[in-house]
Amino acid sequence: MMNSLGVIPCDNEAMSAETASSSVNYLLGNPAESQQTRVLLLGSGELGREIAIELTRLGAFVIAADSYEYAPAMQIAQESHVLDMTDAAALNGLIAEVKPSIIIPEIEAIATAELAKAASNGMQVVPSSRIAAICMDREALRTLMHEKLGLPTTPYRFAGSFEELKAGTQAVGYPCVVKPVMSSSGHGQSVLRGDGDLESAWQEAQTGRRDVKEGGISRVIVEAFAPLDYELTMLTVSSSAGIVVCSPIGQRQEDGDYRESWQPAQVDSNVLKKAQEIARKAVGGLVDIAHENHERGWGVFGVELFMLKNGEVLFNEVSPRPHDTGMVTMISQHLSEFALHARAVLGIPVTEESVALSLKNSEVAASHAIVVSGHGQVTFTNIPKALSQPDTDLRIFGKPKVNGHRRMAVALATSHNEAGARKKAAQIEAALDITVTQ
């Protein structure tokens, strides 16, 4: 029998760990039907926009929520709402109002306790409410990955005071990195090269973190600087068919934010095997926790790895959602990370064949983030010239304005090798005329 959330069956309260990974049968394709599967996106940026597109293609009713009007996913969804998603009362009120079958967090700045309440009321939180809480807390995540699952990481310590920070830096040594445990994308992060950097690093962690408005003292993680060669993203998908790993994605960052990515990254076969094993184990450990809490644990995970110069592979972090660097999959794979996420969430099996590359003749694909600086509305022209080369594409996010600097689009290209693909993607941006008007 179909329940009030439009799924046969989906009783999470009665779900055992054994049945948490079983298939579902969501009602899709008729927005007028009262039992239609309703998906609530918490966060409606460029990643949410692509998720919304894939979900609507499969017949889901998408409700997009964010802190500002006309967010990218709102331009695609059938319904939208503006609210502060860190406000527990506001988020709980929205969930009660829209009655979603599925809740997909697309950002980290969310009152995660409300997700646990939603899961206990039979809603499918993606990948699970417990996973969402763990992955936004660097202390909980590192403890699970290194101390419980045994994954290799950089040496680290946690600190809840300036004195503990000083002791932590003495334990791991200089240079080191200090990050708030409840932040992301470089917010509140500092590199320390000596005792003279301690005070400024502590202040940056307290004032630069994402949750600064909540007040109080933020705990921090102190990590040793690794002899890094490069970083990889291993997109890993958990679905009703189990766990599969996509081809490795290389990346370039600036100030903690992605600027370029390419797939497949050229990796030694032994190193790649280690990376795949770490990705599978990391996601498997999180999914096990979801099952223990009677949730499914389905969706795409972005597992971030450090590749050291000596060939060692270290776990860094994991994002329980499609990853910025994974935007390259919109041109490199038969099914993008967003299509894979939508399929997994809806109970559709994702297999090794599902994550296959679509590239021909050993080509490489690249993505190039287009970051615009200024204050005002952004318009793009000269697109015909920018996309005049074969095997190129462009995604304009439709964000209403920029205030400082903001990622506004992504260029995509394929070529015979990594350097050629990256160059071709960068040439798309160079050919565009980008105007910022007040």
Active site residues: 184, 186, 304, 317, 324-325, 407
Q: Tokens at residue 76, please?
A: 């695609």
Q: For CA atoms 420, 421, 424, 430, give the dihedral sign.
A: negative
Q: How buried is residue 406: exposed, middle or buried, by Cβ count under 10 Å (0-12/13-18/19+)?
A: middle
Q: Provide CB contacts within 8 A for 298, sequence distance 6+.
A: 124, 126, 127, 238, 239, 240, 344, 345, 347
415 forms beta bridges with: 364
Q: Quick one: tokens of 424?
A: 């071709």
Residues near 89 by Cβ (< 8 Å), separated by ≥ 6? none
Rounded Cα distance, 370 and 413, in Å: 14
Q: Give residues with Cβ within 8 angstroms of 356, minimum separation 6.
A: 333, 334
DSSP 8-state class, residue 397: -
Helix (H, G, I), strand (E, B) or coil at 55: helix
C-alpha–C-alpha distance, residues 24 and 117, integer Å: 21
Decide if 129 contacts 290 (C-beta within 8 A).
Answer: no
CA–CA separation, 349 and 18 (whole Å): 17
Containing 423, the helix (H) or strand (E) segment is helix 418-431
Q: What is the DSSP string of 135-182?
A: HT-HHHHHIIIIIIS------EEEESSHHHHHHHHHHH-SSEEEEETT
Helix (H, G, I), strand (E, B) or coil at 217: coil
Three-class SS state of 109? coil
Residues in contact with 273: Cβ distance below 8 Å, sequence separation at least 6, in sequence order: none
Question: CA torsion 107→102→232→431, rounded to 10°?
Answer: -70
Strand partners, 274: none
Tell me the C-alpha distance between 202 and 219, whole Å.
10
User: Six-digit token pair at 367?
Assistant: 């993505």
Q: Cα separation of 98 and 307, whole Å? A: 44
Please answer whether residues 429 and 346 qualify as being in contact, where contact means their C-beta atoms are separated by less than 8 angstroms.
no
